[in-house]
Amino acid sequence: MSITALPSALSCALWRVDLDAAPAPDALRGLSADESARARRFVFARDRSRYLAAHVALRQTLAGPARRHAAQLRFAAGRFGKPSLMETSGLHFNLSHSQGVGMIALCEQAEIGVDVELVRPMDDADALAANYFDAAERDALAAVPAGPAHDLAFFRCWTRKEACLKAAGVGLGLDTRSFHVGIEAEPCNVTLRLDEGPLDMALVSTCGGQGAVAALAKVLTTQADARLVAEACT
């Protein structure tokens, strides 16, 4: 297992994880009983190994900022399953993985969401877009010729949607056609209309490593956060 630091975005730290490199046995012993039990439920050994690698990497990445040993970290799950650290206030993180690629994001300021996808041909991309993209996004995607550029545009929009949902902590409980993120990589502000009221966030597509695309969303908590989009590419 290898963890590689990526360029920061939205004042958040980012890491890419190679999930096909097995973690050391000592590191596996630092996982919780719940994590080990979930790993055992995977049918395929490769999926089990990738899950274990992702959670070992998450603990190793969070240990320093949390000032805890990796094995001492304890996690809680939100209403829709979003994990958080139980005993360390002020640290926000998110984990995503796509096949053998993982990504971890860490922020000390606000809730965040990260999503990564390996770019690949998808036979059902247009059907998925019809169900999850708004009209403007569908039209923009339809204008991209079939092939690698279309695949990239689809997954760029998909990761941007997912990152926003994860930052809000609502999973797929919100209609993704109700907010616009676009198929391009430009930073933007996004507002999610939740039952509790509107939630504003900054969104940027970021480096996912070779063959992958990723997106990061960060909840805007103060007036100063409005500058995040302008600074996102610096």
Which uninterrupted H or E stretch holds 26?
Answer: helix 25-28
How many helical (H) and strand (E) elements, i.e. helices and strands, does the chain have? 7, 10
What are the residue ranges of helices labelled H in 169-223? none
Give the pLDDT confidence score for residue 225 in this predicted structure. 55
pLDDT in tens, 174-232: 999 999 999 999 999 999 999 889 999 999 999 888 899 999 999 997 555 555 554 54
How far apart, in Å, do the first and last CA atoms of the chain sit?
30
pLDDT in tens, 6-65: 999 999 999 999 999 989 999 999 999 999 999 999 999 999 999 999 999 999 999 999
pLDDT in tens, 74-128: 999 888 889 999 987 689 999 999 999 999 999 998 999 999 999 999 999 999 9
Give the chain's domains with CATH numbers.
2-111 (3.90.470.20), 115-231 (3.90.470.20)
Its pTM stands at 0.92
